[in-house]
Amino acid sequence: MSDPIHTAAPDDGVPVSLRSSRGRGWRGFGAALLGIRAGTYRIPAADHHRIGVHVGAPVRADCACDGQRMSRIQAHGDIDVIPAGLPGRWTDSADCRILHITLDDAFVRRTAEQLELTPSRAQIRRRMQVRDPRLQHIAWAMAAELEAEDASDPLYAESLCTALVARLVDAQPQFRERRRMLSPQAAARVIDYVDAHLDRRLTLTELAALVSISVPHFKVLFRETIGMPVHQYVVRRRVERAKALLLEGRLTLSQIALEAGFAHQSHMANWMNRVLGATPAEIARSGVRATTLLLVGDRGGEEAAEANAPQR
């Protein structure tokens, strides 16, 4: 996603991208950790919504957006919400860091529709210096994704941004159906689909469409039914698929990573170590040892049978 903040001509404050979601497969939303030099910088109006979260030591700042001006001390976790179409100007007294999150308007509208909100309620409004523990929790989870060398499945980021939109429009899912769990048939349909498409990127939208319910509703029912969030389940299935292929011993590590839906070999290794507590090489060696023991056991059984056979 392109972001005007990187191309805007600053007065003297210079934003520099320290970490970015570019190349991580995020669609409809994005994030970057920005280092900003002391001084003034302006951002032009954009066609997507922007959320800025102050990271680190307090900084005195003067802000102007949508006709509102304010002087303040920006503390760690303070949040500014800038809707699409609004420009802004910030003057910081010292260098600072900002977690900058962008949401495409189409993503926001689609999520709002799934929350069954009327257009008047589904608006992201300008808010300055918000202190909201729930928003902060989501923001820090996104920041952790940017810091991670091997990122989680894009489903995780999509889940975070869906929750972010729900919180920004100040709404909780209003479900027409009050079922606590997916039906056995619906759960089987989703599980079979995931298993059949592990070699590619999966989205919450396509999985929810399999059972004809909204994404927020699907997330709740899936967790109640399976016992874990969607993204965790998908990662575990990828790891299990990779383990099975490793034990078969027919493919290279890079081929197995692609077959199981991981971005690359090291991405697979990281997740296998986190989930199974073992590296791909260790798992492959364990398969070889098990096969060797099985063969030795078979030969030993044959020898024992011969030794115990009646003598002619």
For helices 230-248 and 265-276, angle between their N-to-C axes, nearest 10 degrees:
100
Question: Tell me: the pLDDT tens digits for 72-86?
Answer: 888 899 899 999 999
In sequence order, what E strands does the chain have?
Answer: 15-20, 29-36, 39-43, 48-55, 59-65, 68-74, 79-82, 88-92, 96-104, 127-130
Residue 310 predicted with pLDDT over 50:
no
Which residues face 98 on adjacent strands?
34, 54
What is the per-residue pLDDT for 71?
85
Domain boundaries, the chain: 4-168, 175-227, 242-312
Distance (Å, whole) CA 264 – CA 259: 10
78, with CB counted inside 10 A (0-12, 13-18, 19+), is: buried
Residue 170's pLDDT band, with cuts at 50, 70 and 90, is low
Strands 88-92 and 96-104: unpaired
Residue 304 predicted with pLDDT over 60:
no
CATH number for region 242-312: 1.10.10
Q: Are 44 and 13 within 8 A, CB to CB?
A: no
Helix (H) or strand (E) holding 276: helix 265-276
What is the per-residue pLDDT for 107?
93
Question: Architecture of domain 4-168 in CATH?
Answer: Sandwich (2.60)
Question: Tell me: the pLDDT tens digits for 256-295?
Answer: 999 999 989 999 999 999 989 999 989 888 765 544 433 4
